[in-house]
Amino acid sequence: MSVAFRTIRELAADIRAGRLSPVALAEACLRGLETAGRRLNAVVTTTRGRALEQAARAERELAAGHDRGPLHGIPYGVKDLLATGGGIPTTWGAAPFRERCFDEDATVIRRLDEAGAVLVGKLAMVELAGGMGYRQPNASFTGPGVSPWSAAAWSGGSSSGSGSAVGAGLLPFAIGSETWGSILGPATYCGVSGLRPTYGRVSRHGAMPLAWTLDKLGPLALTADDCGLVLEAIAGRDPRDPTTSDRPYRYDGTAGERRFRFAVVRGTVEAAEPAVRASVTRALDTLHALGSVEDTTLPDRPYEPMARVILWVEGAAAFQDLVEGGGIAGLTAPEDRITPYARDAILAKDYVRALRLRGVVAREIDAVLGRFDAIVGPSRGVAGPRLDAEFRSAIRGGVPDVLGAIGNAAGLPAVGVPCGFTDEGLPVGLQFLGRAWEENTILAAARAWQAHTDWHRRRPPREPTL
Amino acid sequence: MTDEAEILFALIRARYGARLDPAQLADVRATVAGIVRDVAALRAAAIPDGAEPAQPFIPYRSDA
């Protein structure tokens, strides 16, 4: 039985029906990561010993009637910025840290352990989560991430391997992180679903800090429904991350048919490149079948400069020793070796001004979102940048990304789902951006979208044999 | 470049110039110019006097 491109729910049903063993499933995923995964530059380290031990335990427990839930026996990978104990390196995608090990697992990995999931690999990422200012895909010591959809296209960053491993059907889900665009970007370019949770929903303990007030961890999977299953396992208060919330989270995947209220922020679709604009415009037409779609406007604010200043200052502080000590000279991307120096130019009062504006923006956007279930728009304004060329990035000021800037600076949840293809066959994504703590609402909307369309069931040209 | 950008670039060149060749310095200079444009946009944004930084600080007690 092929296990490629099977959702968590499908695999869980196969396991419980005795059609699939967790050990055989883990073996298949390990094989896929070690072959196709390497070709896509999606893998840093496979965790074979740990994976087979966890899979065997899952098999024993399920046989004994101890069912930990839908992730029990399901393989997954994590972006290599999540700490792992047991001598498994955690490299942050950066050559200077390629041998570095931590003593214990990140909270997210511990929670997935408790849910019975099976860690099969540490996945490739843009060095230091892209926070140094990279502007082309070759920005990791594992090489540029390759899209499963084209050997000439980038998988996106910074959760490159998380996107491409799921998009190539090598894993049912993976964990990524987003400071600005790092889950929704790879989800888009690799043709999968990606969920950026509300800031504080998921513990960051054990994750590489890039920008303390912007970093979020979340799943990439084949469907929005699977993203919800994973979120339930990893969400919740963690005393080791004081920014986590006491709000409980239970994924509601059973919500019946309902009508949604969608808003489109004027200018956000128009700002996308033509191929993306065309797909997203068609998607917005289709959304009328699921509810109302209204144009709306936002106050005229410097959203992208606000988010950039917060990201740059916090990133400069997080890596102060590496930058000032000259350690960035060991990074892969030439621009990552020099751009961070420029951030000394930002004055403290301007950073505080950005934080003050963030509070104002958070209230204004909440007032807008209070009237809708979600704001919808392109997940990314461009499709599949070339592997060998510079790309334009909102983080560097090259392209507008109002929804990304607001969503990340205000800590709002968003789910990105496939919504079409360019003429070159590269995936395009649609995002549902929600009010804080409304993951269930945006996941319900994304599920309804995926029940109504089949973009998420399209497969890349070269399917792996798992 | 604005005067502010030139002054800030001079600071960076003084700190790190020995590590950078002319092409890299030109790249850093362009990045500083972009930062100054962003900061100018932030300074021009109206923010109510009472708007505090959206940044949590929680006093710590080990038994709390």
pLDDT grade, residue A27 (50/70/90)?
very high
| Contact in structure between A177 and A159 (CB atoms under 8 Å) | yes
Cβ atoms within 10 Å of B46's Cβ, excluding its own: 9
pLDDT grade, residue B23 (50/70/90)?
very high
In order of A123, A179, A438, the CA distances from A443 in angstroms are: 25, 20, 9
The answer to whether residue B43 neighbours chain A at the CB level (below 8 Å) is yes
Q: Is residue A182 among the annotated active site residues?
A: yes
The pLDDT of residue A409 = 98
User: Per-residue pLDDT for A465 more than 60?
Assistant: no
Of B8, B16, B42, the CB nearest to A357: B42
Element (H, E) at A120: strand A118-123
Q: What percent of chain B has pLDDT over 90?
A: 81
Per-residue pLDDT tens digits for B37-46? 999 999 999 9
pLDDT grade, residue B61 (50/70/90)?
confident
Q: What are the backbone angles phi and psi of residue A380, rounded to the nearest 5°?
A: -135, 145
Q: What is the C-alpha to C-alpha distance for residues A229 and A82, in angstroms, rounded to an integer? A: 20
The answer to whether residue B53 neighbours chain A at the CB level (below 8 Å) is yes
Least Cα separation, residue B40 to chain A (angstroms): 9
The answer to whether residue B55 neighbours chain A at the CB level (below 8 Å) is yes
User: Per-residue pLDDT for A374 more than 90?
Assistant: yes
In order of A60, A65, A436, the CA distances from A367 in angstroms are: 51, 48, 11
Pairing relation of β-strands A118-123 and A75-79? parallel
**Cα A147-A229-A439 angle, rounded to 5 deg:** 90
Cβ–Cβ of B53/A350 closer than 8 Å?
A: no
Question: What's the mean pLDDT in A9-21?
Answer: 98
Cβ–Cβ of B42/A305 closer than 8 Å?
A: yes
The answer to whether residue B34 neighbours chain A at the CB level (below 8 Å) is yes
Question: Best interface-test mutation with B: which of A132, A338, A364, A392 has the largest number of B CBs within 10 A?
Answer: A338
The model's pTM is 0.97
Q: What are the backbone angles phi and psi of residue A245, rounded to the nearest 5°?
A: -95, 150
Domain segments of chain B as ranges: 3-44
Cβ–Cβ of A312/B48 closer than 8 Å?
A: no
The pLDDT of residue A464 = 54
Q: Which of A166, A182, A184, A186 is nearest to A174 (CA)?
A: A166
Q: What is the C-alpha to C-alpha distance for residues A179 and A311, in angstroms, rounded to an integer? A: 8
Q: What percent of chain A has pLDDT over 70?
A: 98
Provide the terminal-to-terminal Cα distance of chain A, rounded to the nearest Å.
Answer: 8
Question: What's the mean pLDDT in A170-184?
Answer: 98
Per-residue pLDDT tens digits for A271-307? 999 999 999 999 999 999 999 999 999 999 999 999 9
Q: What is the C-alpha to C-alpha distance for residues B54 and A199, in angstroms, rounded to an integer? A: 13
**Cα A222-A224-A225 angle, rounded to 5 deg:** 95
Of the CATH numbers 3.90.1300.10, 3.20.20.140, 2.60.120.10, 1.10.10.60, which one belongs to the domain with range A8-248+257-300+354-457?
Answer: 3.90.1300.10
Cβ atoms within 10 Å of A100's Cβ, excluding its own: 12
In order of A26, A63, A72, A369, the CA distances from A55 in angstroms are: 7, 12, 9, 42
Q: One of A21, A140, A158, A393 is an active-site residue; which one?
A: A158
The pLDDT of residue A179 = 98
User: Per-residue pLDDT for A39 more than 70?
Assistant: yes
Report the SS3 class of residue B15: helix
Cβ–Cβ of A339/B36 closer than 8 Å?
A: no
Per-residue pLDDT tens digits for A409-426? 999 999 999 999 999 999
The pLDDT of residue A393 = 83
The pLDDT of residue A85 = 98
Domain segments of chain A as ranges: 8-248+257-300+354-457
Q: Is residue A122 among the annotated active site residues?
A: no
